[in-house]
Every structure is written in structure tokens, then in C-alpha cells.
Homo-oligomer: A and B are copies of this chain.
């Protein structure tokens, strides 16, 4: 059975991530959210606040994937250049979106300074775009075909993902099951490899850890088929038991 796999690329935009000042939280939340939509995150690129670098990453990942997401650079300040860069990548103009302008006008009506020129920047979109609702602050996200421009601030991005839930077509959800073992992964490497080879519809990832003075590992079995997953997990448990290792279904 060959089923269509839907994929997404993510471009994380921001000097603050590349300088180490800010620890990115968007990769993990976008990845987890995509899993539930039946879409696989195929690649992430983190690029600086430089137009040419954003354009290159956007064009590479949008051509290779069904969907493209960006985080960062859609705010009101001079270093927020994502809208311009994406418009350049797509070869379209930047326009003020009337609905976004109306949203911002209402949002800033009772705030100090009102709707300044800087704030009005947040109503600019690549021509043809629609808005992604943002209940957290005035500025919306932006959707243009299969491209989604989201905020850099993680809780605002979370709200935008929430607004997009169920609106994107995906494929079968990747199912996972985890088996934990208080043993070095290197001891059971042969078992893992053999079991994976015998179950072509499944992948097994091995994630070692060192806790409370002991080494261990979690083995994550992934498949889009529930039966294949169950069969692979059974084989892995049998293999570990036969080799004399205790294991913990569900992971450690």
C-alpha cells in the first residue's frame, strides 16, 4: 500500500534565535501540531532577518513541500521584514489588507499612540492573502495559498495554529508507540536493527538518556498503520525479552 504523505516546511526567522539569545519554542509546537493534522514536518530552516536569506529558504521549502509555515518577523518594527520577503519570493506586491487595517484600528483605538505608522505595518500582506485570526493581540497571521506566516512569540503562534486546526488537508496520522529500557542503546542495537528491517512499514528511533545515575533508552516505533505498528512493537518486545532485557511499555 502506498499512501500519500503530506509534508510541510518551516522557516524560523530571527536573529535572536541564531544569536542564542532566544530559545526557539516554535519548532516543537509546530511539529506537534502538524503531527495531529496528518502532515509531516520535513525540514526546518532558521534564517536571520535578511531579506535574501528569507526569500531563498521560503522558495526552497515551498517548492519541496505541500505546506510552508514561517514564524517571526510579522510585527510592527523595522526588523520585521517577513511580509516583504515572502512577497518578493512569490513575485507579488505588498498591499494593506482592509480587514487587517480595520482590526488594528479597533484594537489600537483606546491604546496610547493609536494606530501609528509602525502598527499599520502589521496590516501589510502579500497580495491575495487572507488573515489567520489572532485572539491574543491585534496583529493577524497571514495565509496565502499553502503558505502560512505566523508570529514569533510562541503563545501567539499557538493561537494561530489553533485557528488553523482542521483547515489543512493531511494524510494518515503517524502513530507512535514507545518502549523504554534501562539499558544502553548500544547493547540492543542489533535487536533494533533486525526488528526494523523485518517491518518495512515502521521506523524505530532510539533515544538514549542518563538519569538517576543509570543509562537507558526509549525506542519509538512509528507507522501510519495501526496493525503494522502493533506487530512491530510485539516483535521488538519479543526481541528484547529473548535477549534478556527488561522493558517498559509506554516508555520511561
| Cβ B44 vs Cβ A77 within 8 A | no
In this complex, the member of A47, A155, A187, A196 whose beta carbon has the largest number of chain B beta carbons within 10 angstroms is: A187
| Cβ B153 vs Cβ A75 within 8 A | no
With CB as the reference atom, state the residue of chain B lying closest to A80. Answer: B206
Q: Give chain A interface residues in 38-81, CB to chain B under 8 Å.
A: 40-49, 53, 57, 75-79
Shortest distance from the beta carbon of A164 to any chain B beta carbon, whole Å? 16
Shortest distance from the beta carbon of A62 to any chain B beta carbon, whole Å? 15
Q: How far is the CA of A48 from the CA of B7 in the complex (A)?
A: 12
A77-B189, A78-B196, A118-B189 as given contacts; A31 in contact with B41, CB under 8 Å:
no
Q: How far is the CA of A222 from the CA of B18 in the complex (A)?
A: 13
| Cβ A186 vs Cβ B116 within 8 A | yes
A88 is an interface residue with CB less than 8 A from chain B: no
Q: Which residue of B34, B57, B113, B190 contacts A116 across the interface (Cβ within 8 Å)?
A: B190
Which B residues touch A19, using CB under 8 A? 31-32, 35, 41, 174, 176, 222
Which B residues touch A48, using CB under 8 A? 42-43
A76-B185, A119-B189 as given contacts; A44 in contact with B18, CB under 8 Å:
yes
Instruction: Please list the residues of chain A having a beta carbon within 8 angstroms of any beta carbon in chain B.
Output: 12, 15-25, 27-35, 40-49, 53, 57, 75-79, 111-113, 116-119, 121-122, 153, 155, 174, 176, 183-190, 192-193, 196, 203-210, 220, 222
**Can you list 18 A-B contacts with CB-CB less than 8 angstroms, sorted by A residue number?**
A15-B203, A16-B205, A18-B44, A19-B35, A19-B174, A19-B222, A24-B27, A27-B46, A75-B186, A76-B189, A77-B185, A78-B189, A79-B206, A116-B186, A116-B190, A118-B189, A119-B189, A153-B208
With CB as the reference atom, state the residue of chain B lying closest to A195. Answer: B78
Q: How far is the CA of A49 from the CA of B27 in the complex (A)?
A: 17
Which 9 A-B pairs have CB atoms at the shortest separation, nearest pair first?
Answer: A118-B189, A20-B31, A20-B32, A76-B186, A44-B46, A78-B193, A77-B206, A119-B186, A18-B41
Q: How far is the CA of A235 from the CA of B233 in the complex (A)?
A: 63
Seed contacts A45-B46, A78-B204, A116-B187; 14 additional CB < 8 Å A-B pairs: A18-B43, A19-B35, A20-B27, A21-B207, A22-B207, A24-B28, A44-B44, A75-B185, A76-B189, A77-B185, A77-B192, A78-B192, A113-B186, A116-B190
With CB as the reference atom, state the residue of chain B lying closest to A178. Answer: B21
Q: How far is the CA of A209 from the CA of B75 in the complex (A)?
A: 12
Which B residues touch A76, using CB under 8 A? 185-186, 189
